[in-house]
Amino acid sequence: MNIITPKNVLPMKLRAYALSKFSATAPATMMLLGEHAVLHGYHAIVCAVNHYINVELIPRDDKLIHIDSSLGQFQTSLQALCREAPFEFVTEAICSVKASLKTGFDLSIQSDFSHQLGLGSSAAVTVATLKVLNQWNNTEADHESSSQKMDIFLRARDIIQKVQGLGSGADVAASVFGGTVAYCMNPLSIKKLKHNPPISVVYSGSKKPTREVVQYLEEKRQQNPESMDLIFKQMDSSCQEAQHCIETENWIKLGKILNTNQSYMKSLGLSNAQLDELITQLNTFPEILGAKISGSGLGDCLIGLGKLSSLYFPLNESQRRAGVRQLDI
């Protein structure tokens, strides 16, 4: 029988018998360019940011699995293991290697960012879980090799697509390879760029589930596929230009590309009055060279090209009440 305990209700005593301990970390991610278009085979640019999920594994001498995280606590056995909410990504990752597991383990998940911010928490926790399981099962493996990273990427992408029913894998690529990544889903292309653009990030105060936004946009696309595909092609062209800008550190031109792509996001119906206002306010700061929605839209975060000297947002009481805040990224 599987048991889920809400966090801070009945603390589960983790019972580790082995002295060995394994840990792995994966970063949060943000989409710079190419949202939604990337699901249709166009390019995107995504970056890892300095917030992390850490997963620690301590083997047991029995067949039990205990999971502890900010979402709650969960216990099961190897025999009864299956995908279980709200630990879908973690339990699916464990299921993917279930046949190779000889004993159970205690799994502790620590995150320094909220899963509600739209920072790719699903990708990060999946990658970190696969990495720590890989360490335990393959203690002699070279975990820094390109082939090892590609294996983790492919497995994590498949798990997320299996759980969500969709997913380009762009956030997984940035979480696995780090830095700023130019990405294409089909044909698969992952290119880590030479430089990382300076960014400032503001959380809009709300996050609409990605699946709902994708479904909304797909319904619109069925009504007018030619118009939407044209926008996707324009976004793809922008990504090609942006790659060169990042490689050459041409931030002024990159800022203009971000502003242009914000207009594409508006044309797709992914902005609203609150997001428009925050974008306008971001662009009033002299340090910011361009700004746009980052993520699926209708919420999530806003990304500004340039580093604000202080955490300015929220700018007023109304924004504070709405949950707007600047993230230290």
H helix count then E strand count, the chain: 9, 12
147 shares its domain with 233: no
CATH classification of the domain holding 259: 3.30.70.890
pLDDT at residue 9, rounded to an integer:
37
**Per-residue pLDDT at 2:** 57
Q: Share the mean pLDDT of the chain.
A: 91
pLDDT(11) > 80: no
Same domain? 50 vs 169? yes
My answer on whether 148 and 230 are in the same domain is: no
Residues in the chain: 329
| Residue ending a domain, choose from 192, 221, 246 | 192
Chain segment 231-284, per-residue pLDDT in tens: 999 999 999 999 999 999 999 999 999 999 999 999 999 999 999 999 999 999
Q: Which domain holds residue 164?
A: 3-192
pLDDT of residue 4: 56
Distance CA 58, CA 136 (A): 9
Sign of CA dihedral 112, 116, 120, 125: positive
Query: Which pLDDT value is given to residue 12?
Result: 37
> Burial of 140 by CB count in 10 Å (0-12 exposed, 13-18 middle, 19+ buried)?
exposed
Q: Which residues contact 173 (CB under 8 A, 6 or more apart)?
A: 46, 153, 181, 183, 190
Residues 183 and 317 in one domain: no
Domains of the chain: total: 2
Whether the per-residue pLDDT at 314 is higher than 50: the answer is: yes
Mean pLDDT within 81-103 = 93
Cis peptide before 314 (omega within 30 of 0): yes
Q: 207 and 121, same structural domain?
A: no
**Whether residues 179 and 225 fall in one domain:** no
Q: Round to whole Å and give the CA distance between 70 and 172.
A: 21
Alpha-carbon span 280 to 121, nearest angstrom: 28
Neighbours of 311 (CB within 10 A): 12
CA 185 to the chain's CA centroid:
15
- Residue 115, domain CATH: 3.30.230.10
Residues 153 and 40 in one domain: yes
Domain boundary among 177, 192, 207: 192
pLDDT at 121: 93
Same domain, 208 and 171: no
* Whether 60 and 153 share a structural domain: yes
Overall pTM > 0.85: yes
Q: Are residues 287 and 184 in the same domain?
A: no
**CA 307, CA 197: separation in Å to the nearest integer?**
10
Report CA-CA distances (Å) from 298 to 162, 206, 304: 24, 8, 17
- Cα–Cα distances (Å) from 22 to 94, 136, 206, in that order, read 15, 7, 35
Q: Which of 141, 165, 192 is the last residue of a domain?
A: 192
d(CA 182, CA 167) in angstroms, rounded, equals 16
Which pLDDT tens digit goes with each residue over 145-198? 888 999 999 999 999 999 998 899 999 999 999 999 999 999 999 999 999 999
Range with the lowest mean pLDDT among 17-21, 176-180, 300-304? 17-21
Q: Do 151 and 212 belong together in one domain?
A: no
Q: Are residues 277 and 151 in the same domain?
A: no
Q: Give the pLDDT confidence of 120-145 residue by residue, as tens digits.
A: 999 999 999 999 999 998 855 555 68
